[in-house]
Chain A
Amino acid sequence: MSDLRTELKESIIEQLNLEELSVEDIENDEHLFGDGVGLDSIDALELIVLLEKDYGIKLTDPQQGKDIFVSINRMAEFIEAHRTK
């Protein structure tokens, strides 16, 4: 079983152009929108695109992202529960 969390970190680094970060730099429970990884509102929209493209989950309200994208752990939990791909 592939490690979803690692897969997510790799995707995020590539999709969001986090050029100066590597998989090891992102903690599973780190706040993605905090100072460390430092994502912003446009990144949140890109994550919504990622959910649909890679996991077949369609969010219709951008506000849902606030809860789901808090950390890698939270994202992985949500994806495991709702993925269709």
Chain B
Amino acid sequence: MEKGIAVTGMGIISSIGKNLEENYISLISGKNGLSFSEILETKHTHLPVGEIKISNLELLDSLKLNSSKPITRASLLGIVAVKEAILNADLHETQLGTCGFISGTSVGGIDATEKYYKNFQDGDYTEFIKAQHPGFTSKQIANYFEIKGQVSTISTACSSAANSIMLGARLIRSGKLKRVIVGGTDCLTKFTLNGFNSLMILSEKPNKAFDEDRNGLNLGEGAAYLVLEADDVLGAKQVLGRVSGYGNANDAFHQTASSPEGEGAYMAMNKALRTAKLNPRDIDFIHAHGTATRNNDLSESVAMNRVFKDSLPDFSSTKGFTGHTLAAAGGLQAVLNLLMLKNQQIYPTLNFQNKMEESGLIPITDLKHKRLSHILSNSFGFGGNCTSLIFSSNEK
């Protein structure tokens, strides 16, 4: 197999915890982060969401940032997660000078523009106009840490963070960078809540991934980042795991729905296996995209069966815990994958009751201890953008 790129640090903030420790405790105790909107001022207060119960002012305060600066919620969440990742990886200031930062977001900045849009015309809050550009969110995070290497923003919907991880791994493999921080951030906005509602794919109950009676997703917010480093700069550092495989493909079927055969997912998973030089049988666990929409879970099940045939490993969706964090989802999954590898355990699919008639597949529904070496992780975005990543234990 391919050795893969070393992960030396990680950080996360989600509706189940504001750091690694809190997220871990929620995961092992089956405690989900779904609630009703309080911080987001929306009329849709009946829709469960994975809201982080920390206001922007509290975030600004904890980061010792001046509230007069135009900083957006996705940036604040991103900074919290990157801070933990940097600490976790024991990166020094000088190293940040040449470090890269690849970040995925879909609505970064929109939380501010949807609040202040009408004021722009009166000449108020104009410092937030730039926030309409997703790159602004990434720059704010990079500037906070004085990261001076390559800073890039990827915007490919729900596969953005996964694609950022993939790009980061490639940049290290090609020798362009020695270290890079990769992941994504997205916050709850009226923009997405109303938009997804118009597509009629939001559930009024906690989401039930892979369940016969699933009826939609719950939106969430969060940020999660990994620190990737080249082998020749590792020294004696801890290696949490390795990004050993990755693949991206386009479903070429529909703007928002996945093809019935799960073609894009099928190709992405196969590409990831190929880059990792692994067989399907080598995968110990699949961390599914599993949004609990009628469409995704069926399409993903078909694709998994096509790839793995009669050697389908354990699989699970963790969106019952965090909600669907859109562009950040691939990053959150990555951090959870590394927690699973570290603790040799699988986190369950919450709210599952009845298997899907079409596939008969049953996800893991309780915390399970298992020997894990390789985890395949899926993130499928609107626009048919399908990405699969493989995370492996660090072989000594």
A and B touch in the complex (CB under 8 A): yes
Question: Chain A interface (Cβ within 8 Å of chain B)?
Answer: 40-42, 45, 48-49, 62
Contact status B198-A62, CB under 8 Å: no
12 CB < 8 A contacts A-B: A40-B254, A41-B254, A41-B257, A42-B199, A42-B255, A42-B256, A45-B198, A45-B199, A45-B200, A48-B200, A49-B198, A62-B200
Question: Chain B interface (Cβ within 8 Å of chain A)?
Answer: 198-200, 254-257
| Main SS at interface, chain A | helix
Top 7 A-B residue pairs of the complex, sorted by shortest distance between their CB atoms: A62-B200, A41-B257, A45-B199, A45-B200, A45-B198, A42-B255, A40-B254
Chain A neighbourhood of B199, CB < 8 A? 42, 45
Nearest residue (CB) in A for B204 is A60
Question: Complex Cα distance A45/B257, Å?
Answer: 13
Chain B neighbourhood of A41, CB < 8 A? 254, 257
Question: Complex Cα distance A81/B254, Å?
Answer: 33
Nearest residue (CB) in A for B200 is A62
Chain B neighbourhood of A48, CB < 8 A? 200
Nearest residue (CB) in B for A63 is B294
Question: Complex Cα distance A49/B254, Å?
Answer: 20
Nearest residue (CB) in B for A60 is B200
Within the complex, what minimum Cβ distance (angstroms) separates A77 from chain B? Answer: 23
Within the complex, what minimum Cβ distance (angstroms) separates B259 from chain A? Answer: 12
Nearest residue (CB) in B for A62 is B200
Within the complex, what minimum Cβ distance (angstroms) separates B28 from chain A? Answer: 37
Chain A neighbourhood of B198, CB < 8 A? 45, 49
Question: Complex Cα distance A48/B255, Å?
Answer: 19
Chain B neighbourhood of A62, CB < 8 A? 200
Chain A neighbourhood of B200, CB < 8 A? 45, 48, 62
Chain B neighbourhood of A49, CB < 8 A? 198
Nearest residue (CB) in A for B295 is A41
Chain B neighbourhood of A42, CB < 8 A? 199, 255-256
Nearest residue (CB) in A for B215 is A61
Question: Complex Cα distance A49/B256, Å?
Answer: 18
Within the complex, what minimum Cβ distance (angstroms) separates B147 from chain A? Answer: 39
Question: Complex Cα distance A42/B198, Å?
Answer: 10
Nearest residue (CB) in B for A49 is B198
Question: Complex Cα distance A23/B135, Å?
Answer: 45
Question: Complex Cα distance A45/B199, Å?
Answer: 7
Question: Complex Cα distance A40/B198, Å?
Answer: 15
Within the complex, what minimum Cβ distance (angstroms) separates B45 from chain A? Answer: 17
Chain B neighbourhood of A40, CB < 8 A? 254
Question: Complex Cα distance A48/B197, Å?
Answer: 12
Question: Complex Cα distance A48/B200, Å?
Answer: 10
Question: Complex Cα distance A49/B198, Å?
Answer: 8
Nearest residue (CB) in B for A41 is B257
Within the complex, what minimum Cβ distance (angstroms) separates B298 from chain A? Answer: 14
Chain A neighbourhood of B255, CB < 8 A? 42
Chain A neighbourhood of B257, CB < 8 A? 41
Known: A41-B257, A45-B200, A62-B200. 9 other contacts (CB 8 A): A40-B254, A41-B254, A42-B199, A42-B255, A42-B256, A45-B198, A45-B199, A48-B200, A49-B198
Nearest residue (CB) in A for B257 is A41
Within the complex, what minimum Cβ distance (angstroms) separates B167 from chain A? Answer: 30
Question: Complex Cα distance A62/B202, Å?
Answer: 12
Question: Complex Cα distance A45/B256, Å?
Answer: 12
Within the complex, what minimum Cβ distance (angstroms) separates A64 from chain B? Answer: 11
Chain A neighbourhood of B254, CB < 8 A? 40-41
Within the complex, what minimum Cβ distance (angstroms) separates B77 from chain A? Answer: 30
Question: Complex Cα distance A40/B199, Å?
Answer: 13
Question: Complex Cα distance A48/B256, Å?
Answer: 17
Within the complex, what minimum Cβ distance (angstroms) separates B15 from chain A? Answer: 27
Nearest residue (CB) in B for A59 is B200
Within the complex, what minimum Cβ distance (angstroms) separates A80 from chain B? Answer: 24
Which among B200, B254, B257 has the highest number of chain A CB atoms within 10 Å?
Answer: B200
